[in-house]
């Protein structure tokens, strides 16, 4: 299946050393805590993913994607034990197809409505023997109108309760924020990013109100290329890093999923 995907040795070396460098930074910032590194491969070719999957020293398994169609196409041609994270803006009508197509979908990190949770739950019921699909509620921690996500407070509580009580094929695993990039860039050494602070406070509030302080608790998914070390310092359990591993991304309209075969060539 992934047999047709050709990996360029030079490219593989570059990717592996970039990932190793990020891993080292994550480990250092985490100072003994467990922090998951999701390699965000959106708009990057399947060969890049396979290179990091196959390398014996890194053995990367967790990859993040932003577009449902792109994720489904890539997942179909890549190994079935890859743990996929859907982290992008999600339309309600894509939830069920996504969850019912991919048994190795590990987490959907961008859930911000009851309807989306319900549809994902329906989709995941196609795989009754798979573990529940992990869900992160995406929060709009910056209050910008352009950002998706729930507002901290009662709406978020209601969504969390819905997932816990009504969605037996889902597991409420944590909270996610993107935050304001500008704010992140403006945050100096030793200063706390306001979005990460809001996410953490909201987690602590929910854990208290819903009595979730057992072994599982709720994890925090925050931190990207620009700010993952600061996020880990503020308690992040999962960072989503793309461009620092894979390099800058092409424009979405220029990207097509393909293996080694150029269109029009044999
Ligand atoms: C693209 C993306 C990332 C990774 O961003 P980089 O800055 O390339 O590390 C992380 N999270 C989300 C939700 C994204 O869309």
Pick 2-247's CATH classification: 3.30.1180.20, 3.90.79.10, 3.20.20.10, 2.10.109.10: 3.20.20.10
For residue range 71-116, what is the model confidence (pLDDT) as tens digits?
Answer: 999 999 999 999 999 999 999 999 999 999 999 999 999 999 999 9
Between the CA of 239 and the centroid of ligand 1 the distance, in Å, is 9
Between β-strands 36-40 and 238-241, what pairing exists: parallel, antiparallel or unpaired?
parallel
| Domain residue limits, the chain | 2-247
Q: Predicted confidence band at 262 (pLDDT cuts at 50, 70, 90)?
A: very low
**Ligand 1 atom closest to Cα of residue 240:** 10
pLDDT of residue 265: 36
Higher pLDDT, 190 or 69: 69
Model confidence pLDDT, tens digit, residues 176-225: 999 876 666 666 766 789 999 999 999 999 999 999 876 568 999 999 99
**What integer pLDDT is reported at residue 81 of this predicted model?**
96
16 lines ligand 1 (CB under 6 A): no
- pLDDT bucket at 254, cuts 50 / 70 / 90: confident
Beta-carbon contacts of 246 under 8 Å, excluding residues fewer than 6 positions away, are 15, 18, 39, 40, 41, 44, 48
**Which pLDDT score is estimated for 264?**
38
Give me the chain's average pLDDT, please: 92
236-248, pLDDT tens digit by residue? 999 999 999 999 9
Query: Quick check: 13 pLDDT over 70?
Result: yes
Determine the pLDDT at residue 247: 95
Q: Is 95 in the pocket of ligand 1 (CB under 6 A)?
A: no
What integer pLDDT is reported at residue 182 of this predicted model? 61
Tell whether ligand 1 has an atom less than 6 A from the beta carbon of residue 66. yes
* Token pair of 250 as six digits: 């092409």
Closest ligand 1 atom to Cα of 40: 4
pLDDT category at 145 given cuts 50, 70, 90 is confident
Residue 57: per-residue pLDDT = 95
pLDDT tens by residue, 49-58: 999 999 999 9
């Amino acid at each position: 299946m992934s047999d047709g995907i050709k990996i360029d040795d030079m490219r593989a070396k570059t990717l592996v050393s970039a990932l190793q460098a990020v891993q080292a930074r994550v480990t250092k910032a985490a100072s003994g805590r467990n922090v998951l590194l999701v390699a965000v491969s959106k708009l990057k070719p399947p060969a890049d993913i396979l290179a990091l999957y196959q390398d014996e020293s890194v053995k990367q398994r967790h990859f993040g994607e932003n577009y449902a169609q792109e994720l489904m196409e890539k997942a179909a041609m890549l190994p079935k034990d890859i743990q996929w994270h859907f982290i992008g803006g999600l339309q309600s009508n894509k939830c069920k197809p996504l969850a019912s197509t991919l048994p190795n979908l590990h987490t959907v990190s961008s859930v911000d409505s009851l309807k989306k949770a319900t549809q994902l739950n329906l989709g995941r019921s196609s795989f009754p023997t798979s573990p529940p699909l992990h869900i992160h509620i995406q929060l709009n921690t910056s209050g910008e109108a352009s950002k998706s996500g729930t507002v901290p407070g009662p709406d978020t509580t209601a969504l969390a309760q819905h997932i816990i009580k009504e969605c037996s094929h889902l597991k409420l695993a944590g909270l996610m924020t993107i935050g304001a990039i500008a704010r992140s860039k403006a945050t100096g050494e030793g200063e706390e990013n306001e979005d990460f602070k809001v996410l953490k406070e909201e987690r602590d509030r929910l854990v208290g109100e819903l009595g979730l302080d057992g072994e599982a608790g709720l994890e925090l998914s925050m931190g990207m290329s620009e700010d993952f070390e600061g996020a880990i310092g503020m308690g992040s359990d999962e960072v989503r890093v793309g461009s620092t591993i894979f390099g800058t991304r092409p424009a979405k309209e220029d990207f097509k999923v393909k293996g080694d075969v150029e269109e029009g060539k044999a």
